[in-house]
Amino acid sequence: MKINSMKKLVFVFAAILFTSITLNAQKIEINKVWGGYQFTQDGKNLSLNDMQEIMKSNQEAYDLVQSAKSNKTWGMILGTAGGALVGFPIGTAIGGGDPEWALAGVGAALIVASIPIVKGFNNKTKKAVELYNNDVTSGAYHFNPSFNLNIKGTSLGITMSF
């Protein structure tokens, strides 16, 4: 009987240790890089899809990542189209042809229009990570289990409440 109770006690402490490690390991780190931010968790770089999956438990952060993903898509479409419209007349001019500079103007306008969209993407992803990290940190902080020793006849047990 003593060995069985000891096994249970070891299991409870192992579960508490695992829970503590898991709660502290979930924080996402933000690193400023050229043109935006890089997000990592436990040393692994995170993509937007990774962040979406991780943030499913925090609806506000998840919604921000969804919106940021939309911003990224539109920014890429406008930026790519603008680059092509600028590059085509330049290539024509280099090749000795008669370039359509109006296309380059439209392309430059598209590139300029993509800048605030990309900036919105960066701001939304950063805000989503901050919201997620605040939720994870506060959840880890409030994890405060209490233990009770229960003795009933010849049985001995420990209960954990949280």
> What are 37's two structure tokens?
């931010």
pLDDT of residue 34: 85
Query: Pick the residue with more confidence: 23 or 64?
Result: 64
The answer to whether residue 23 scores a pLDDT higher than 80 is no
The answer to whether residue 35 scores a pLDDT higher than 70 is yes
> What's the rounded mean pLDDT across residues 41-58?
89
Question: What is the residue extent of each domain of the chain?
Answer: 2-161
The answer to whether residue 161 scores a pLDDT higher than 80 is no
3-state secondary structure labels for all residues of the chain: CHHHHHHHHHHHHHHHHHHHHHHHCCCCEEEEECCEEEEEECCEECCHHHHHHHHHHCHHHHHHHHHHHHHHHHHHHHHHHHHHHHHHHHHHHHCCCCCCHHHHHHHHHHHHHHHHHHHHHHHHHHHHHHHHHHHHHHHHHHCCCEEEEEEECCEEEEEEEC
User: What confidence tens digit (pLDDT) does each residue in 136-145 have?
Assistant: 776 544 455 6
Count CA atoms within 13 Å of residue 38 on its CB side.
8
pLDDT of residue 2: 60
Count CA atoms within 13 Å of residue 116 on its CB side.
3
Question: Angle between the 2-24 and 101-142 helix axes, to the nearest 10 degrees?
Answer: 150
Query: Pick the residue with more confidence: 51 or 5?
Result: 51
Of 29-33, 50-54, 71-75, 141-145, minimum mean pLDDT range:
141-145
Q: pTM, whole model, 2 decimals? A: 0.64
> What are 83's two structure tokens?
């680059």
